[in-house]
Amino acid sequence: MNFYAPSLPPGTLLSLVLTSILSVAAYVFWSNAIVPAKREELMKDKQPGGQVESYLGGLEEGGEEEEVGVGRNFQRWLFSDWLRAREGKGRRKKDRAIPGLKGKFNSGDNPVLVAAAGIIALGVADGVFGKVRDGFVP
């Protein structure tokens, strides 16, 4: 009697390893080169005379009583922490994106964390809906 034994097609393991290596290399480059450079650029732009500083000043000047439209109010909401810091009120303490994890990596605006969560969510959804679609056949 013949039994099916799963086997790995030739080249698949090499492809998986290369994809993993490229993913890790891209993350290391992003984390060690792109993020620090952009943070430094942002720091300079937030100084007097910088683009971000003048943009935040424009958001502050358009007061709440002024009819500036929904877009401007939404922009104020997005930059509320920075506007509050400009007023000298300081930043509010934000909750962690994932409770229990420590460190600055744990942030809802970290693209690596968001992408990983999205991939995991898609995998779980495919597993659940795949079973539903196939009628729970073992």
How far apart (Å, rounded) are the C-alpha atoms in residues 101 and 26?
A: 23
How far apart (Å, rounded) are the C-alpha atoms in residues 71 and 56?
A: 14
How far apart (Å, rounded) are the C-alpha atoms in residues 35 and 24?
A: 15
Phi, psi (deg, nearest 5) at residue 116: -65, -45
How far apart (Å, rounded) are the C-alpha atoms in residues 12 and 14?
A: 5
Would you give the distance in Å from CA 90 to the centre of its chain?
A: 24
Name 92's Cβ contacts closer than 8 Å, sequence gap at least 6. 81, 84
From 91, 99, 80, 104, select the one nearest 112 (Cα to Cα). Answer: 104
Residue owning tokens 């420590």: 102
Domain locations in the chain as residue ranges: 96-138
Structure tokens at 15: 């492809």
In tens digits, the chain (138 residues) has pLDDT values of 788 888 888 888 899 999 999 999 998 998 899 989 998 998 888 888 888 888 888 888 765 555 545 567 888 888 888 888 877 765 566 666 566 666 555 566 677 778 888 999 999 998 888 776 766 655
CA atoms within a 13 Å half-sphere pointing along the CA-CB vector of 24: 6
Q: What is the pTM of this model?
A: 0.50
